[in-house]
Chains A and B, each alone.
Chain A
Amino acid sequence: MKNPVEIEDMSKGEGPLVHIRPEDQIPLPPPFDKIEEEPPLKPLSEGAAKNYECLDDTVAVSIPKPESKEEEERLVNLFLSGLRKLFNEKDNWTFLQPLLISLEHCAKCQTCSDGCPIFEESGRNSLYRPTFRSEVLRRIYFKYIKKSSKWVHGDIDLNWKTVSRLIELAYRCNLCRRCAQTCPIGVDNGLLAREIRKIASQEMGIAADELHKNGSVLQTKVGSSTGMNSLVVKDNIEFIDEDTSEKTGIQVETPWDKEGADILLIHNAGEILAWPENPGAFAYLFNAAGLSWTLSSDLAAYDAINYGVWYDDIQFSRVALLHAQAAKKLKVKKIVLGECGHAHKALIVIADKVLTGDLNIPRESSMTVLQGIVRSGRIKFDKSRNDFPVTLHDPCNMVRLMGIVAPQREIIRAVVPGERFREMTPHGVHNYCCGGGSGFAIMSGHNFADWRHHLSGRRKFRQILDAFQDEPMDKDHPKYVCTPCSNCKGQIRDIIKYYDAWEKAGIYYGGLVELMVNAAADTKPGYIDWEWH
């Protein structure tokens, strides 16, 4: 095994190309600063290594090994056919222009590598450079699509190893697009990773089960990737309404299918099961502020997730249409997305390519709606109820992609004592991904959860620990990582559990609305449930 790995290695040999070595990684801040005391990265099982194509220490997609050379050839040809379609406006209506710019131009200055938390936290392993997978794709593009000189653009052997490893490598990127932000000429390596996933899914039928079979397909069939149909969701929300009423001391009822309401609120349905205080808090705040709002029980319209945004344009479109159709049916003035970053990207930004005519219903982030509630003065907040250290995680899709930076900070200033709030470094549009972006937070097959804790989530965990270093790092001093995104919350929950950071450092996490209700002066105190971790 060579270190550093080179582009040419992608086509050669069997098994993993690299291994992560703890001694190459930077220790975390206290109290997790002894790298030898960190839980070791669980090795990939022999069965997984034998049955699936391997790239490194883990397997994300579980690509079966073809049974014959003919099958390998067929798959490689499918990949090439999918790649050709990427350059046809009719077949690639989503991101053709930025794709062309990103493929045609790269100065290989590696500025992006310094911006990539996965590369940095891997101990600067060259396989994880944002440019590595882009360069593999670029060489295939120039050699097989544009048929340009290999002396100008570099050579590559295109075989099944190259293709299968490239697909796996597209799932070693959070699609956080920090690399695109740092690139002096605007090359979007995150987009290239996403488009590799798209070729795999749309042309070859290869996608992570968590995103496709148990994600998009389940959502369009049953109504939610959680497996809940509308009856289950309504019954669960009834439980939540009762709990919220009990906890706040104020009767809370969630409206369903209210025609003509101003707002159709769509939560990530994972919140309902994993963080029921979140939809409960939204219901309290929207009611207390006198907003006209409703949830929808139509298929998929009670679950804002849209995993297609990470891997497949067709799946993406299907879900976006279901969301818009529900809004149209209810004749609402706008759709508001709950605390879910990728749903913001999917429905507010990318869906502009799908929703035309009367389906192009206005869509808004809950961050600005909540900011409006604070500014309206309709709810009185008692900051002293949030008298504990708070830091704020910026979800990439809300912040870097959409520029929603100020609203959540204005809200925090209204509900948390000024001296208790501290920013992470860096933050705002320069934030780091939670490590669960692009679907990772729901992907835990084989030893993938371990991989994301050791690599993709490590930078965020480092930031969280750094933000609280001026506090006693123990359970007796609870600290709150405000995380207004369901997917990010899942990753932060998992990494807190992995490092036992609640017991060892008193680190807890939750959404923004929970923090707001915790400070709502007209409610009974103690909305945040510190034991829910």
Chain B
Amino acid sequence: MSDKKKVIIIDDEPDIVTFLSVLLEDNGYTTISAKDGQEGMEKIQAEHPELVLLDITMPEKSGVRCYRELRENPDLKSIPIVIVTGVAKDFKKFISTRRQVPPPDGFISKPIDKQELLDTVSKFL
């Protein structure tokens, strides 16, 4: 069994998924991916990744809903979540100040800065 840490990339843009998968695997992580929040929730429950990279604007189930469900689920709420989004920067303050959920563990705006992403991921894994 691999001792590599597993990261799930939840994003509806295939180019972003490819970019992040290659970047993370080149840096010693193993990755799985999901194309929307719905599939993301199913894979998290099935595969228990150690970190979630979460897009916000997605079809089927938004990243906001996904974030809320993860934080409200006693079995999953301790998994660190880094939001990776192109939504306006004010969203960071918005989601970080909701009384219903704790602030995200990390927040990265698109376009993604490689080093910022790797530095953020390495804080949790």
Show the binding face of A for B, using Cβ within 8 Å.
Answer: 222, 225-229, 231-232, 234-236, 239, 242-243, 246, 270, 272-274, 276
Nearest B-chain residue to A234, judged by Cβ: B62
Whether the pair A232, B56 counts as a contact (CB closer than 8 A) is yes
Contacts of A225 in B (CB 8 A): 88
**A217: shortest Cβ distance to chain B, in Å?**
13
Contacts of B59 in A (CB 8 A): 229, 231
Is B123 an interface residue, CB under 8 A from the partner?
no
5 contacts between A and B (CB under 8 A): A226-B87, A227-B56, A231-B62, A243-B99, A273-B87
Is B30 an interface residue, CB under 8 A from the partner?
no
Whether the pair A242, B88 counts as a contact (CB closer than 8 A) is no
Interface of chain A, main secondary structure: helix
**B65: shortest Cβ distance to chain A, in Å?**
5
What are the nearest 8 A-B pairs in CB distance?
Answer: A235-B64, A273-B90, A231-B62, A227-B87, A274-B90, A226-B88, A232-B62, A273-B94
Q: How far is the CA of A235 from the CA of B85 in the complex (A)?
A: 16
**B56: shortest Cβ distance to chain A, in Å?**
6
Nearest A-chain residue to B63, judged by Cβ: A232
Show the binding face of B for A, using Cβ within 8 Å.
Answer: 56-65, 68, 85-88, 90-91, 93-94, 98-100
Nearest A-chain residue to B57, judged by Cβ: A229
Asked whether A231 and B87 contact (CB < 8 A) given A239-B100, A246-B99, A273-B94, the answer is: no
Asked whether A227 and B100 contact (CB < 8 A) given A235-B68, A270-B90, the answer is: no
Asked whether A236 and B94 contact (CB < 8 A) given A231-B59, A243-B99, A246-B99, the answer is: yes
Whether the pair B98, A239 counts as a contact (CB closer than 8 A) is yes
Contacts of B100 in A (CB 8 A): 239, 242
Whether the pair B90, A236 counts as a contact (CB closer than 8 A) is no
Contacts of A236 in B (CB 8 A): 64, 94
Whether the pair B90, A227 counts as a contact (CB closer than 8 A) is no
Nearest B-chain residue to A222, judged by Cβ: B57
Contacts of B57 in A (CB 8 A): 222, 227-229, 231-232
- 15 more CB-based (< 8 A) A-B contacts, given A228-B56, A231-B64, A274-B93: A226-B88, A226-B91, A227-B56, A227-B88, A228-B87, A229-B57, A229-B58, A229-B62, A231-B57, A232-B62, A232-B64, A239-B100, A243-B98, A273-B87, A276-B94
Nearest A-chain residue to B99, judged by Cβ: A243
Nearest B-chain residue to A531, judged by Cβ: B97
Q: How far is the CA of A272 from the CA of B94 in the complex (A)?
A: 8
**B97: shortest Cβ distance to chain A, in Å?**
8
Q: How far is the CA of A222 from the CA of B63 in the complex (A)?
A: 15
Q: How far is the CA of A226 from the CA of B87 in the complex (A)?
A: 6
Contacts of A272 in B (CB 8 A): 94
A222, A231, A234, A273: which contacts B91 (Cβ < 8 A)? A273
**A127: shortest Cβ distance to chain B, in Å?**
32
Contacts of B61 in A (CB 8 A): 231
Contacts of A222 in B (CB 8 A): 57
Contacts of B99 in A (CB 8 A): 243, 246
Q: How far is the CA of A229 from the CA of B57 in the complex (A)?
A: 6
**A513: shortest Cβ distance to chain B, in Å?**
18
Residue in B68, B88, B98 whose Cβ sees the most chain A Cβ within 10 Å: B88
Q: How far is the CA of A226 from the CA of B90 in the complex (A)?
A: 9
**B16: shortest Cβ distance to chain A, in Å?**
13
Contacts of A273 in B (CB 8 A): 87-88, 90-91, 93-94
Q: How far is the CA of A226 from the CA of B65 in the complex (A)?
A: 17
Contacts of B58 in A (CB 8 A): 229, 231
Residue in B61, B62, B63, B99 whose Cβ sees the most chain A Cβ within 10 Å: B62
Contacts of A242 in B (CB 8 A): 100
**A256: shortest Cβ distance to chain B, in Å?**
14
Whether the pair B62, A235 counts as a contact (CB closer than 8 A) is yes
Q: How far is the CA of A274 from the CA of B88 in the complex (A)?
A: 9
Nearest B-chain residue to A272, judged by Cβ: B94
Contacts of B94 in A (CB 8 A): 236, 272-274, 276
**A264: shortest Cβ distance to chain B, in Å?**
22
Contacts of B85 in A (CB 8 A): 227
